[in-house]
Amino acid sequence: MADRPKGKPSRGGPDKKGTPDKRSSPFKKAGPPKRGAALSPSTPKRTYNADRTASLRKNRQDAIAHAKDMAKRMGVEPVDKSKLSEDGERLHVRIAHSGICSRRAAEKLILEGRVEVNGKMVAEMGIKVSDTDEVRVDGQIISIAKLYTVVVNKPLGVVTTLYDPQRRPTILKYLPDYGVQLKPVGRLDMETEGLLVCTNDGELALRLAHPKFGVEKEYQAIVTGIPDEKALKSLREGVFFDGRKSLPARVDIIHAEPKSNTTGLRITIHEGRKRQVRLMCELVGHPVTSLKRIRYGPLYLKGMRAGECKLLGKKDTDELRRMVGLPVN
**Does residue 3 carry a catalytic annotation?**
no
Same domain, 114 and 173: no
Report the pLDDT value the prediction gives residue 111, as an integer from 0 to 100.
83
Q: Which residue of the set 189, 228, 242, 252 is catalytic?
A: 189
Here the CATH number for the domain that contains residue 65 is 3.10.290.10
* pLDDT at residue 98, rounded to an integer: 78
**80 plus 197 within the same structural domain:** no
Question: Are 169 and 130 contained in the same domain?
Answer: no
Quick: pLDDT tens for 33-74: 454 444 444 444 444 456 655 665 666 566 566 656 665 655
User: When comparing pLDDT for 119 and 282, which is higher?
Assistant: 282
| Contact yes or no for 310/182 (Cβ under 8 A) | no
- Domain-located, residue 3: no
* Domain closes at, from 113, 144, 175: 144
pLDDT at 184 over 60: yes
pLDDT of residue 48: 47
Q: Are residues 318 and 183 in the same domain?
A: yes
Q: Do 231 and 97 reside in the same domain of the chain? A: no
What per-residue confidence (pLDDT) applies to 225?
96
- Residue-level pLDDT at 231: 95
- Say whether pLDDT at 80 is over 80: no
For residue 49, being part of any structural domain is answered with no
Domain CATH number, residue 301: 3.30.2350.10
- Domain endpoint, select from 129, 144, 159: 144
Q: Residue 219 in contact with residue 292, Cβ under 8 Å?
A: yes
The total number of structural domains in the chain stands at 2
Q: Is residue 51 part of a domain?
A: no
More confident of the two residues 162 and 145: 162
Residues 6+ apart with CB under 8 A from 95: 101, 103, 106, 109, 110, 115, 135, 137, 142
pLDDT mean over 17-21: 49
Give the pLDDT mean for 169-180.
92
Q: Is residue 41, in this structure, part of any structural domain at all?
A: no
In the predicted model, is pLDDT for residue 16 greater than 80?
no
Residue 106: pLDDT band with limits 50, 70, 90: confident
Angle at 319 between CA 313 and CA 323, to 5 degrees: 150
- Asked if residue 105 and residue 70 are part of one domain, the reply reads yes
Q: Is residue 12 part of a domain?
A: no
Domain span holding position 91: 56-144
Q: How confident is the model at residue 185 (pLDDT cuts 50, 70, 90)?
A: very high
pLDDT value at 76 more than 80: no
307 and 256 housed in the same domain: yes
Strands 128-129 vs 299-300: parallel, antiparallel or unpaired: unpaired
Q: What is the pLDDT of residue 53?
A: 58
Alpha carbons 257 and 289: distance in angstroms, whole number: 14
Q: Per-residue pLDDT for 203 more than 50?
A: yes
pLDDT digits (tens, 9 = 90+) for 245-292: 999 999 999 999 999 999 999 999 998 888 999 999 999 999 999 999
Contact (Cβ atoms closer than 8 angstroms) between residue 258 and residue 289: no
Which of 103-117, 119-133, 249-263 has the weakest average pLDDT?
119-133
Of 121, 144, 167, which closes a domain?
144
Are 178 and 309 within one domain?
Answer: yes
Q: How confident is the model at residue 142 (pLDDT cuts 50, 70, 90)?
A: confident
- How confident is the model at residue 237, as a pLDDT? 95
Q: Are residues 103 and 156 in the same domain?
A: no
Q: In the predicted model, is pLDDT for residue 126 greater than 70? A: yes
Do 226 and 291 fall into the same domain? yes
**Residue 2 pLDDT greater than 60, yes or no:** no
303 and 152 in contact (C-beta within 8 Å)?
no
Q: Minimum mean pLDDT among 1-15, 106-120, 275-289: which range?
A: 1-15
Helix axes 229-237, 276-283, angle to 10 degrees: 140
Q: What's the whole-number average pLDDT of the chain?
A: 81
* Predicted local distance difference test score (pLDDT) of residue 202: 81
Share above pLDDT 70 across residues of the chain, in percent, rounded to a whole number: 73
pTM (2 d.p.): 0.66
- Rounded Cα distance, 148 and 199, in Å: 6
In a domain, 39, yes or no: no
Confidence of residue 215 (pLDDT cuts 50, 70, 90): very high
Shared domain check, 109 and 168: no
Distance CA(285)–CA(281), nearest Å, equals 7
| Residues 94 and 163 grouped into a single domain | no
